[in-house]
Amino acid sequence: MATKRHTIALFGGTFDPVHFGHLRMALELRQALGFDEMRLLPSHQPRHRQSPGVSSRQRSEMLALALQGCDELLLDERELNRGGDTYTVDTLEELRKELGQEVSISFCMGSDSLLTLHRWHRWQRLLELAHLVVVTRPGWHLPKSGDAGSNPKLMDLLQSHQGTATDLYEQALGSLVLREQTMLPISATEIRQLLNSGQSPRFLLPATVLQYIEDHQLYTKAVATGDQ
């Protein structure tokens, strides 16, 4: 019988700002798939791609506030510390070097991100470094290589790597695992729009994060020209 490996999952995003949709998703994934660690990984955004008036460091500080008192979810700031453009493949290469070949690493994402994976830097390498765990709506299926709108090379690669949840602790890398899960209907875009129009996003994100946003006057037109 295969031994259970140490399992580390990563949940990447801009978290601009972090909200309850992200936090529930990460926690439910950890609980459902039994990961030993679940790390939230804020991506670094070069200044020209940042929300006006909100730095990468501030996005990460909001995430740290959201995770206060929550031992189940960890913050991994490596992409911010590295700076420059953020490529998932570089992060996974770095983690592999750090953790060795035996630890199971899973990179988690939504199914919308999966369909555009062929635009990611060195995307063919991703499954050589980690598993991909894709959160889907109930009933969602991976498109076939001939289906309209899908990238044939990507679909062939994904079809050939499709696996099950047990792969995540029996193998260190290489499986695509689809996981059906309901998502809370919250988006960071909506939160930014509410703030920008002077309305409250209360109850969509942790109160500590909202307090930080108010204290630093983030996502409002008033500071849009005063980027730090």
The nearest distance, CB 185 to ligand ATP, in angstroms, is 6
CB nearer to ligand ATP: give 113 or 150: 113
CB nearer to ligand ATP: give 110 or 163: 110
- Closest alpha carbon to 25 in 203, 181, 192, 209: 181
CB nearer to ligand ATP: give 43 or 175: 43
Structure-token pair, residue 112: 């919308």
CB nearer to ligand ATP: give 166 or 184: 184
The nearest distance, CB 101 to ligand ATP, in angstroms, is 26
The residue written with tokens 């909202």 in the block is 210
The nearest distance, CB 11 to ligand ATP, in angstroms, is 7
In this chain, which stretch among 91-99, 105-113, 200-208, 217-225 interacts with ligand ATP, using CB under 6 A?
A: 105-113
The nearest distance, CB 196 to ligand ATP, in angstroms, is 13
Residues between 2 and 31 that touch ligand ATP (CB under 6 A): 13-16, 21-22, 25
Residues between 180 and 209 that touch ligand ATP (CB under 6 A): 183-184, 186-189
CB nearer to ligand ATP: give 61 or 170: 61
CB nearer to ligand ATP: give 26 or 103: 26
Three-state DSSP at 34 gives coil
Using CB under 6 A, pick the residue from 113, 145, 150, 171 that binds ligand ATP: 113
- Closest alpha carbon to 66 in 31, 18, 30, 25: 18
**Residue 32 near residue 9, CB atoms below 8 Å:** no
What backbone torsions phi and psi does residue 107 show, to the nearest 5 degrees?
-100, 120
In this chain, which stretch among 99-107, 108-116, 145-153, 161-169 interacts with ligand ATP, using CB under 6 A?
A: 108-116
Walk across the sheet containing 131-136 and list its strands.
Answer: 74-75, 37-42, 7-13, 104-110, 131-136, 176-180
119-134 residues labelled b (16+ CB within 10 A) or e (exposed): eeeebeebbebbbbbb
**Bridge partners for 107 per DSSP:** 10, 132
Q: Does residue 110 interact with ligand ATP by CB under 6 A?
A: yes
* CA gap 22, 113 in Å, rounded: 14
* CA gap 227, 188 in Å, rounded: 19
- The residues binding ligand ATP (CB under 6 A) are 13-16, 21-22, 25, 109-110, 113, 183-184, 186-189
